[in-house]
Amino acid sequence: MKAVFISFNQAYFEKIISILDRQNIRGYTSWNGSVRGRGTKTGEPHYGSHAWPTMNTAILTMVDETKVDRLLEKLHELDKETEAQGLRAFVWNVEKTI
């Protein structure tokens, strides 16, 4: 099992959910409206302020290891469509669940 953390421009929310649905990934937790940040290399700040009004959203989902590569591939395709919007995904090992 893997944990996939996805941080992205709030405008992507419905598209990200659609990707999860098409990959048969049901469970997730999301943070809406209070996720702020800026890209490591070229991304503009997403602070929700007057100067930088854009906001991010984040999703954390637990995914079977066999689905991770395909999920990342689909997320990367979306990111390439409009790179300036900002989308990043990170994968961690899940040691235990209850």
Joined together, the tokens standing for residue 3 give 């944990």
Whether the pLDDT of residue 63 is over 70: the answer is: yes
Structural domains in the chain plus CATH codes: 2-93 (3.30.70.120)
3-class SS letters over 22-73: HCCCCCCEEEEEEECECCCCCCCCECCCCCCCCCEEEEEEEECHHHHHHHHH
| pLDDT at residue 15, as a whole number | 96
pLDDT in tens, 5-48: 999 988 899 999 999 999 999 999 999 767 877 776 767 777 77
In angstroms, the CA 53 to CA 60 distance is 24
29-35 and 2-9 beta bridge pairing: unpaired
Helix axes 13-22, 65-81, angle to 10 degrees: 140
